[in-house]
Each structure stands twice: as structure tokens, then as C-alpha cells.
Amino acid sequence: MNHIEIAPNIYWVGYVDWDVRNFHGYRTQRGTSYNAYLIVDEKVALIDAVKPGKGRSLLEHIAEVIDPKKIAYIISNHTEPDHSGEIQKVLDQAPQAVVVASEKGKIGLQKYYPGNWNFQVVKTGDSIHLGKHLLQFINTPMLHWPDSMFTYLPAQKLLFSMDAFGQHYATSGRFDTQVDMDVLMAEAKTYYANIIMHLGSIVSKTLKQAQSLEIETICPSHGVIWTEHRSRILSAYQGWAEFRARPKILVIYDSMWHSTEQMADVLADAACAAGAEVKVLKLDVNDLTSLVTEVLDAAAVAVGSPTLNSNMMPTVAAFLTYLKGLKSKGKLGVAFGSYGWSGGAVEQAAECLQQAGLEMFGETISCQYRPDEETLRKCRLLGTQLAEQVIKKTK
Ligand code: FEO
């Protein structure tokens, strides 16, 4: 993709990564982009760099607009290497450039890239005049790293929001008005669930801060720029940060010889018959990225596992480990499953669900070898009661 002027004298100069499918474990089914922005004024500023290996493209895009030697400031809104990986390559062209970062950002950049960079540390309230453009900085610690910050241009009502409001979405359109909104919102939701879900209270606080800013354009570090639909993403973030749930029950399981599968089906059918929205998701055909996206607006998660060598199935353990780190709130949990001669998986699943912040609902159900009529009756009853509870809770 070529550079593009997104506002007078402000350019997108990043890299669209059409091929990436695994972003540190996140399944990026539509690729991504590493956005960098160039502000051309009496002094020239580059907002963020790109992932290691994509610097040639960044420099080519910059050179289409100005001589890269003219860059006076490299603003590092976020230290993670997908946005800082090629700062050195820019500095090789513009060695006089000052790297602007938060205090934690400077520490992180020095650890990643030992060198003799000329830093300027900024904090909320600090600003830099480029000429006609004023850059204001807002620390947003832990959204999603300690170093994170926003850069805001008050005159242009434009926010460089680093990862916040981003999407892993490779597209030839640079703006929300140029892409399919359903796809865009789905990718924004997936991004939020996998990267930001565990930071709900910090997101709410940051959204309150953002309310004091006039914002017409939001330029994230991944995906497309929000213009016409900016209020839609801001409102979606508010709902996600509050863990607003639908009357949706997820039945997530794995199975060895169909016993846990049968329990999952019976529980799901009963919950569905009682009026809940139900999704049955087997772990060997659903990736973790899409599973936790489903968790974001679910009211309950029922997890089923057979016992394998006195433990949960590894697929179930992996899902629950991932879920635990994402610290969802306000959801109900259910655990069920089967075993052969020694149990353990169901109790372990229940413990993991509790550690992940879910409130356990009803009793765990486990059966030896095959679920008998009594076991299936319990699954049916639990499905019905769980549905009644989530419908009541989400009214
Ligand atoms: Fe896109 Fe947290 O890096």
C-alpha cells in the first residue's frame, strides 16, 4: 500500500501485513497493519515505527513525502516491537531525531534496543510544537503496556491511540468509511477480547479522560482509521469495558470417546429450549482467539473435559489458562465431564473457572465412562437452570 494523506500534512506511512496469521498466538485471520503516521510541519514528526523487517517499506513511504533525514521527532506511543521495531532504521537516516516516549517507554526502549538514542520523556500535560501542529501527550498506563500513551492534536481533533481501538485487519481501505462495517466491528471486538479485555476498569477510566477531548479522527496502530463511525467504536468500548452480556451461554468442551460431548449436547439443548442463546464450541475445531471473543459478551461459560492422565484434556487446560489471564467479569461458570478410572478434570476445570473470575453456578457433573440417564437428567436440569439465570441476569 502507498502512503496516504489522512489530513492536511498528516500521512499514513505504515505497512499492511496481508499474510500474518499468528500474532504472538492471536490468530489474525485477516492479517493486520502496523500503522505509522508522519506529520509534516516546520519540524517533522513520525508517530510510531513498524514491526521489525518492515522498515524498508516505512522509509519508502516517508521518502514519497519528505526526505527521511528531516525527521525531528519519533513519537513512540507504545514500546511493543510491532511499533518500535524499526525506530533504529529511521534513526540511521535521521540520527538527530529525538525519540519521544513516556518514562516507562524510555526504559522499555532502552532494554529492547541498547544504543545511544536521544530521548525526550513526556507525561500527561506535556506538549511539543511542530509549527502549526501541537502534539499533546496523555499517559495511558497498562492500556495495554505500562509505557502506553496517546498523542493528541487538538487543532485537528485527531487522536493517535496506539493499540486502543485497533483491529487486526489488513485492507486497502485506510478509513472506516471504506470497509465493510460488520467485518470492521467484528475484528475490533476480536482485538478487544484478546488484547484489552483484562483491562476493563482502565479502559473505562481512559474513556472518561477521552470525553474531555474533541475527537473527530482516531488513528490506531493497527487496522483502519475511525472517522464517521468513531462514536460506534467508543460506545462499543464502553459496553465491552463494562462486560455487558447477552443471554448467551457458551458450552466449550473437548471429548475423547463422546461422553463429555453427549453431556455438552444435552446441557446445550436444555439451555436452548429454556430460551437462552447457546453456542456449542468444541475445542479441537475452534481456536482460542475466536473462543475468547465469544466469551466477551456471554453471560455464562460451561466447560466440559474428560480426564486424561488425571488431568484436563490439554486443549481444555490451554483455553482455561488463556481465559484466566483475560480476567472477564460478571460471568457464570459451569464444569462437567467424564472419566475412566480416576477423575480430576472436572474439579480442575471448576477451580480454573473460579480463578478466571467466573462465579460457579450449580454443582459440577461428572460421570464414569458413559453418562447414564441420571447424569443426563442432571445435565438437562443444569442447562435449564443456567438459561433461566442468564435470562434473568441480562434483562
Ligand atoms: Fe500492537 Fe501492543 O502492540
Do 63 and 163 lie in one domain? The reply is yes
The lowest-confidence range among 46-50, 98-102, 141-145, 329-333 is 141-145
pLDDT score of 1 more than 80: no
Which residue is listed with cell 496502530?
221
What type of residue sits at position 366? S
Q: Is there a catalytic annotation at residue 284?
A: no
Do 158 and 303 lie in one domain? The reply is no
Do 285 and 320 lie in one domain? The reply is yes
Question: Is residue 119 situated within a structural domain?
Answer: yes
Do 164 and 214 lie in one domain? The reply is yes
Report the CATH number at residue 348. 3.40.50.360
Do 222 and 318 lie in one domain? The reply is no
Q: How many CB atoms within 10 Å of residue 117?
A: 19
Q: In which band, very low, low, confident or very high, does the pLDDT at 85 lie, cut at 50, 70 and 90? A: very high
Range of the domain at 294: 249-389
CA distance 303 to 337: 8
Q: What is the mean pLDDT of residues 263-286?
A: 98
Q: Is there a catalytic annotation at residue 24?
A: yes
Question: Is residue 66 situated within a structural domain?
Answer: yes
Q: How many domains are contained in the chain?
A: 2
Q: Is there a catalytic annotation at residue 129?
A: no
Question: Is residue 394 situated within a structural domain?
Answer: no
Do 218 and 321 lie in one domain? The reply is no
Closest to 204 in 3D by CA, of 237, 179, 236, 244: 237
Please indicate whether residue 78, judged by its CB atom, sits closer than 6 Å to ligand 1: yes
Q: What is the mean pLDDT of residues 72-79?
A: 98
Q: Which atom of ligand 1 is nearest to the CA of 163?
A: 1
Q: In which band, very low, low, confident or very high, does the pLDDT at 200 lie, cut at 50, 70 and 90? A: confident
Among 221, 241, 261, give the residue marking a domain's end. Answer: 241
Distance 144 CA to ligand 1 centre (A): 8
Q: Is there a catalytic annotation at residue 78?
A: yes
On whether the pTM is more than 0.85, the answer is yes
Give residue-wise pLDDT tens across range 294-308: 999 999 999 999 999
Tell me the percentage of the chain whose pLDDT exceeds 70. 100
Question: Is residue 381 situated within a structural domain?
Answer: yes
Instruction: Report the pLDDT value the prediction gives residue 211, as an integer from 0 to 100.
Output: 83
Closest CA to ligand 1's atom 2: 80
Question: Is residue 395 situated within a structural domain?
Answer: no
Q: Which atom of ligand 1 is nearest to the CA of 34?
A: 1
Closest to 190 in 3D by CA, of 232, 147, 225, 223: 223
Instruction: Report the pLDDT value the prediction gives residue 56, as an integer from 0 to 100.
Output: 95
Rounded to a whole number, what is the distance in angstroms from the first to the last CA of the chain? Answer: 46
Closest CA to ligand 1's atom 3: 80
